[in-house]
């Protein structure tokens, strides 16, 4: 049974999300402020966290930063802030998905299942991609860069694996969004830029002059044929 930590300072939202997840067979834990969220993460070891951006005591951003210092557990940000800048901040810190209030509880549950499937590598072939200094293990979902282990969020791993499987092929942002997150909302297309930025910071010697993930201006991205 997968364990989900729900963090929001609005009791009605917590109760509603908890009810839907419980009914869907998940084990749920709750927290109503940032400090309680960090404590629950450390004590319960959840498989996924639904995290509000605006929280008392510690903000969702601070909570994400604290968790990412220790774990790559999937995080879905839940917030009333719909501005792209707010989405980007959360994603840059390592959130895997972003749901804007008001939202459909059914859609949120679907997002939870989709993120968990990606994190567990469901449907991935047991294979390894070795290119340049990268070694991508699709079975264990581990990445080595020049022989050292590098932690990626589930979305970062899926994005890198998908691009590396199709070297030289150009993908639009919407195509990549559909492949790694399962939906194609125009308003979310630019979140791919944030994930690419995070990936480059982790895998490139010089993120400003990338060897692996290349920008195709006016279109999207491609993985280099010969890094």
In a domain, 176, yes or no: yes
- Domain span at residue 171 reads 152-223
The CATH number for 169's domain is 1.10.10.10
Q: How many domains does the chain have?
A: 2
pLDDT at 83: 59
pLDDT at 69: 85
pLDDT reported for residue 177: 82
Which residues have CB under 8 Å from 197's CB, separation 6+?
Answer: 92, 207
Q: What is the pLDDT of residue 126?
A: 47
Model pTM greater than 0.75?
no
Q: Residue 171 and residue 144: Cα distance in Å, rounded?
A: 24
User: By CB neighbour count within 10 A (0-12 exposed, 13-18 middle, 19+ buried), where does 66 fall?
Assistant: middle
The segments of the chain whose pLDDT lies below 70 read 81-87, 120-126, 182-189
pLDDT at 185: 54
Amino acid 114: pLDDT: 85
> Is 127 within the bounds of a domain?
no
């Amino acid at each position: 049974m997968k364990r989900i930590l729900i963090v929001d300072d609005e009791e009605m939202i917590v109760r509603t999300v908890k009810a839907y997840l419980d009914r869907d067979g998940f084990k749920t834990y709750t927290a109503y402020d940032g400090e309680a969220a960090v404590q629950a993460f450390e004590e319960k070891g959840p498989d996924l966290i639904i995290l509000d951006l605006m929280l008392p005591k510690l903000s969702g951003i601070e909570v994400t930063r604290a968790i990412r210092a220790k774990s790559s557990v999937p995080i879905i940000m839940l917030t009333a802030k719909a501005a792209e800048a707010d989405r980007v901040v959360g994603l840059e810190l390592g959130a895997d998905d972003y749901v804007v209030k008001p939202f459909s509880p059914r859609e949120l549950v679907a997002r939870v299942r989709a993120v968990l499937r990606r994190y567990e590598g469901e449907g991935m072939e047991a294979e390894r991609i070795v290119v340049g200094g990268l070694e991508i293990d699709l079975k264990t979902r581990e990445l080595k860069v020049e022989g050292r282990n590098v932690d990626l969020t589930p979305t970062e791993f899926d994005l890198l694996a998908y691009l590396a499987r199709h070297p030289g092929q150009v993908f639009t942002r919407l195509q990549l969004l559909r492949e790694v997150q399962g939906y194609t909302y125009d308003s979310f297309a630019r979140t791919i830029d944030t994930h690419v930025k995070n990936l480059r910071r982790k895998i490139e010697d010089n993120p400003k002059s990338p060897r692996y993930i290349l920008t195709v201006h006016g279109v999207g991205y491609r993985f280099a044929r010969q890094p």
